Structure 1
Amino acid sequence: MLHARISASDASPAGDATISVLLSQITQGIDARFVTVGKTLAQAVESIDGIVTALREATSTFEAGEGAAAVSNLTTAARRLSGVGHQMQGRAQEMGEIQQASRRLSAHIAEVKKSLHVLHIFGLNVKIAASGADTFVDFANTMSGQLAAGEAEVGALQAKLEGLATSLRSMEHNDRLLASECQRVVPHVPDRLEADAAALRKHQAMLSELAEKNAVLARSIQGSVANVLGAIQVGDIARQRLEHVLQGYADMQATLATAGLCAEDEAATRDHLLRLLLAQLTSSAQEFRTETQALVRALRGMVPEADRLIALSKGGGSEDGQVFLRSLEAGIAEASAMIAQLQLADAQAAETLRIIVDTVDDLTGRAAAMRILRIEVQQMAINIGLKCRRVEAIGRPVAVIANEIRASSDSLDQTIKQITAESAGLGAISLRMRKHADAHVGQDSDGLASSLSAIREGALRTEQAMAVSERMASGLLGALRSTTDELEQSLDLGDALERIEDLLTIELGRDVPLALEGRDDQIIRAVMERMARSYTMASERMVHEAFLLPGMARLIADKPISSASPGGSADDDDALFDDALF
């Protein structure tokens, strides 16, 4: 501490040196301490930037990207599993309709095959009845070739229906396995998955809210620290004012040493200037102590907020999140067998759907070909009938056969129409299956694992962000406390200022000012004018005004000086301090 016991011996040339040395030491001490405080607070502002950034990254995990969709995907998958039973009922009904349509198609194709066989026999009968007549034999041979092509179409249709039947059997087998798995895990596994997903969503919302509260609190502390950082110029203000006192004191001593004034004039001059310097010193010391104490109170007021920030950061611990993760992992493991079986069943249903569509396309094309065949056969029968009129010997039996051919072709036409109708029915079923399949698209086990991985990554990032927040908040708390301690120690400088006040008072040697009437006051005016030019604070000018001699120019106008006027920037120093802190 610079404060020391004062004795009458201090009011001597050695005392003059003591005043100068003490003022110099104080200005250096203020500068060193407040520079350190400023750096510490600037680092605190940067730490809060780090807290806000880390928390922003944590909340972004839940608000965008894979992390945001993961919980929703889990819920969707759980609901898909819960709806498998209803889906299977619908698919079983569709399979029943397909099987019935396939059986009817098989019967119709058998009828077509039978009709073609009968027509083939009629062709042979034409040859026999015509007794080898070339015209009728050619007709019979042509019809035989067309019937052979028709039989090939029928064989291809039968192969398609057999492939569809095989696919339907596989589909039934996979659905039976799926039904068995469904009985094992539904409804408890999907319900558990959905409940866990809902709980995790709630937990994430809590973490997001907590992170937002942390960020808001951190920004509030940052604003307060920034205000204090702006107000920390109290040290610079005190240093400047003390430097001006030191300069004024040195100027007074040097000027009086060479002025050659008489003893009475020198005493009056020294008395007036010392009282001005003492007033400036007292004002500076009081302002320094008052404003430094205000800074200390402001910093102490931030400590509870920093403590709260640490507590909030600890509240984002990973225990609850790990519980949710373990529960989700167990639920997904239980559901994996059903999900795998559901994938197989869906894949087989998709394959059956593909075969149905292919069969419908094939039926449509081959039915069209058989319709053309039927028309050609019917035309041949008509032509045979016309030829029979010209050949009376063989015409009657051949005409009878031609009529049978026409009757068979008409029957074939009806069967082909039924095949076309069944084909349209299969097409409608395939459209329903496609619609239902699209409505039940869900995640596979890999997709659920990816969702879990995204949730785990989000939880890790949140833990890290909260850890950063807690660590930096602890550092911030330490910075606030160390800064407060440093500023409180700076109040000791006020004791040294009081010592200088005592030294100046001793140097004055009297309570009542010496009269200046009739004295040479030129030295007073010259020194005061030089001091006035050095002032940078409005408070200095206000003190100076009280010591002006008659005829000296005032330093403060009657009306406030605007910031755009000369000297406005100097007045702003005090105003800036007041605004920054309050």
Structure 2
Amino acid sequence: MTALARQTQTALPTASDLRALVPGIVEPRERIETTFVAVGDRLTKGAAMLNRITRIFEALPQSLESPELHEASARLAAIGTESQAIAAVFATEQADLARLVSVVAAADHPISDLRRTVKMMGIVAINARVVAAGIVGDGDDFEVFTTDIAKLSESASRTIQEFSTVYRQLTDEVRRAAEQRAHFEAAHADTLSGLAASMDGSLEAVTRQRQASVDGSAETGRVSRQIGGRIASAVMALQVGDATRQRLEHVETALETLANLFDGNSVAGANLSSEEHDAALAAITSLQAAQLASAAEAFTGDVADAANALSDLATDARTIMVRSRDIYGQGKAGAQSPLAALSDQLRHAAEVLRDCETERGKLEIVAGAVQATVQSLLGHVEAVQEIEANMRLVSLNAAVKCAQLGPRGTALNVIASQLRELTGETVAAAETAMSGLHEAAGLAQSFGAAASGDAAGQVGQLEQEATAALGLLETVDQTLAEALGVLNLDGPKVVNLLGEAASSFADQSAISEAMADMHVLIVQYSADHIDPPSEALAAVLSALRTKYTMDAERRIHEQLFGKDLTAPPPVIASEASAEADLDDLFF
């Protein structure tokens, strides 16, 4: 349809009619501004959080391979090995203590025999006095029967009493040591050997995590680079909002320009006659219809691309969260990372070793008491041996005296025989008791040395090593905990922000429909064929062209009117500066 043919069918619109079209352009333009500003804000915040998360987790493999963690792992491995060695020493010590208990208990019988012998000696001393008093005569010396045997009996009784008292003390000390050792075994049975096994298991778990961290770092880096690309794609896709807004503004300007021309106003120094209004209407509305159709088409496609880019970005964010939790822990509610679990276990190990050291201190006290008591008991051995010698001497003197008395000494000879018999029993009992007590002294020395020697010191050293390793582990674990804290705090926010940004485009079809409706209203004033514009109209079209900011607008303009109306194109920012602007906007 030509402009002239259309004019015969419909009347020209008034300037008011043309201006009435403008609100239909303003409404989608304002919606675009509101929507894309909100989406851009969410993308900016989400991208910043996501970049922070990816940077933190890209750096974690270095933390897990740090010298501090290697040193802590080496210390823990040493703790496990030394714990097994100390457990073996404790087992030997237990055997020595059990033998000590047995030896001390075995000495009870010969010491009881000594006490019985001394008691019988007291009876013999009384009998000797009585018999000697009955046969005493002038010039007879019965001092061996009336005095020597009694003194020997008193001395032996006193010595054996002291000896028995110390022995009972030794028995109590050894029993206490056995009870203390039993308490130690009950509290810490298999603790040290179990500690070594659990340390090995935990170290293997940490080693697996470190390997998984190293293996996963490449994938994390790939996803991070992919995220960077998606952010760039989303940023570029969001430029459709600003581009469409500008194109709609140019349509508004063109409609206002046409309305001004219909009002008889001058535009770009040109005034149109009433006869030129029809040509201006056809040219400008056809141009704006084409511009609007092109803008709507680009908007629809680019909005879909932007929505997809944001959706993919949200998916990548979820991937980073899932992978990071799988590798570093807290992937499930209440779960711990192997490093955190090892820290907890090591903290418990330090407490166990501290308890072991406390129990060892108690054993050391008991072992010292046993040693002191055994030494005290051995100090009485000389007194027992002296009793033995004195009994032999008194028995010999009694036998000699009885031989001198002849028939009168028959009764006293019986007493001398009893004394010799008691002397023999004393010798046998003393030898048995002494052999057992000397063995007890050696065992007590061995037990005491074990309780206060290298093994005891190593327990305390192990506790110090565990505490030091715990400090190193906690430093690395704190870094990991902070990273997981950021992940748990910001991760869901990132996913929500990007999801909301993507869903914001769900109602963009309404904007496209609004532009399509405006296209229908504008195209009714256009023409199938546009005559070459007059000089005045060409000036107006050139003025409109100078406002274009996109090549797409210029191409449509040239397709309708050719290049003879082309004005010098405006300066377009270089790609480098455009990228810099995007960086300033989003990062």
Deviation at 1:487, TM superposition (A): 2.4
Does residue 1:236 correspond to 2:242, yes or no? Answer: yes
Post-superposition Cα deviations, 1:109-142, rounded to whole Å, max 9, x if no partner, equal xxxxxxxxxxxxxxxxxxxxxxxxxxxxxxxxxx
Counterpart of 1:198 (choices 203, 209, 214) is 203
Post-superposition Cα deviations, 1:327-375, rounded to whole Å, max 9, x if no partner, equal 445555555577789999xxxxxxxxxxxxxxxxxxxxxxxxxxxxxxx
Post-superposition Cα deviations, 1:135-166, rounded to whole Å, max 9, x if no partner, equal xxxxxxxxxxxxxxxxxxxxxxxxxxxxxxxx
Query: 1:57 touches 1:465 (CA, 8 Å); kept in 2?
Result: no
Match of 1:101? none
Query: 2:546 touches 2:567 (CA, 8 Å); kept in 1?
Result: no
Match of 2:19? 17
Post-superposition Cα deviations, 1:363-388, rounded to whole Å, max 9, x if no partner, equal xxxxxxxxxxxxxxxxxxxxxxxxxx
Aligned partner letter, 1:26: P
Deviation at 1:44, TM superposition (A): 0.8
Q: Cα RMSD over matched residues?
A: 4.9
Deviation at 1:467, TM superposition (A): 3.4
Q: Residues 457 and 576 (structure 1 numbering): CA distance in 2 closer, same or farther, change over 3 Å?
A: closer
Match of 1:526? 539
Deviation at 1:574, TM superposition (A): 10
Q: Which moved more, 1:279-288 or 1:190-199?
A: 190-199
Query: 1:252 touches 1:527 (CA, 8 Å); kept in 2?
Result: no
Deviation at 1:236, TM superposition (A): 0.9
Post-superposition Cα deviations, 1:445-488, rounded to whole Å, max 9, x if no partner, equal 12212323443554454244223213322111111111112223
Query: 2:79 touches 2:465 (CA, 8 Å); kept in 1?
Result: no
Query: 1:44 touches 1:479 (CA, 8 Å); kept in 2?
Result: yes
Aligned partner letter, 1:16: L
Query: 1:51 touches 1:218 (CA, 8 Å); kept in 2?
Result: no
Match of 1:55? 57
Counterpart of 1:296 (choices 280, 296, 307) is 307
1: CA distance, partners of 2:460 / 2:317: 47
Query: 2:84 touches 2:193 (CA, 8 Å); kept in 1?
Result: no
Aligned partner letter, 1:202: T
Match of 2:335? 319
Q: Which moved more, 1:290-299 or 1:53-62?
A: 53-62
Aligned partner letter, 2:555: M
Does residue 1:285 correspond to 2:296, yes or no? Answer: yes
Query: 1:11 touches 1:503 (CA, 8 Å); kept in 2?
Result: no
Give the structure-2-normalised TM-score.
0.54
Alignment of 1:534-553 (within 5 A): 534-548=547-561, 551-553=564-566
Aligned partner letter, 1:257: D
Secondary structure in 2 matching 1:507: coil
Deviation at 1:37, TM superposition (A): 1.2
Alignment of 1:161-240 (within 5 A): 188-189=193-194, 191-202=196-207, 204-205=209-210, 208-209=213-214, 212=217, 217-218=223-224, 220-240=226-246
Match of 1:490? 508
Q: Residues 185 and 293 (structure 1 numbering): CA distance in 2 closer, same or farther, change over 3 Å?
A: closer
Secondary structure in 2 matching 1:444: helix
Deviation at 1:251, TM superposition (A): 1.7
Match of 1:266? 277
Query: 1:55 touches 1:211 (CA, 8 Å); kept in 2?
Result: no
Q: Percent identity?
A: 18
1: CA distance, partners of 2:568 / 2:252: 20
Match of 2:149? none
Counterpart of 1:75 (choices 74, 77, 90) is 77
Q: Residues 253 and 202 (structure 1 numbering): CA distance in 2 closer, same or farther, change over 3 Å?
A: same
2: CA distance, partners of 1:472 / 1:522: 62
2: CA distance, partners of 1:57 / 1:205: 13
Does residue 1:257 correspond to 2:263, yes or no? Answer: yes
Deviation at 1:61, TM superposition (A): 4.6
Deviation at 1:533, TM superposition (A): 1.2
Aligned partner letter, 1:286: E
Counterpart of 1:569 (choices 566, 573, 579) is 573
Secondary structure in 1 matching 2:573: helix
Q: Residues 305 and 260 (structure 1 numbering): CA distance in 2 closer, same or farther, change over 3 Å?
A: closer
Counterpart of 1:307 (choices 291, 305, 318) is 318
Q: Residues 262 and 62 (structure 1 numbering): CA distance in 2 closer, same or farther, change over 3 Å?
A: closer
2: CA distance, partners of 1:570 / 1:548: 28
Deviation at 1:73, TM superposition (A): 0.8
1: CA distance, partners of 2:490 / 2:285: 51
Query: 2:69 touches 2:472 (CA, 8 Å); kept in 1?
Result: yes
Query: 2:254 touches 2:288 (CA, 8 Å); kept in 1?
Result: yes
Q: Which moved more, 1:545-554 or 1:465-474?
A: 545-554
Q: Residues 327 and 573 (structure 1 numbering): CA distance in 2 closer, same or farther, change over 3 Å?
A: closer
Give the structure-1-normalised TM-score.
0.55
Query: 1:292 touches 1:491 (CA, 8 Å); kept in 2?
Result: no
Post-superposition Cα deviations, 1:257-309, rounded to whole Å, max 9, x if no partner, equal 32775554321232122111211111111111111111112222223222323
Aligned partner letter, 2:72: A
Deviation at 1:311, TM superposition (A): 2.5
Secondary structure in 2 matching 1:546: helix
2: CA distance, partners of 1:287 / 1:488: 16
Match of 1:32? 34
Secondary structure in 2 matching 1:569: coil
Post-superposition Cα deviations, 1:522-551, rounded to whole Å, max 9, x if no partner, equal 232111111121111111111111122584
Does residue 1:452 correspond to 2:454, yes or no? Answer: no
Q: Residues 463 and 549 (structure 1 numbering): CA distance in 2 closer, same or farther, change over 3 Å?
A: closer
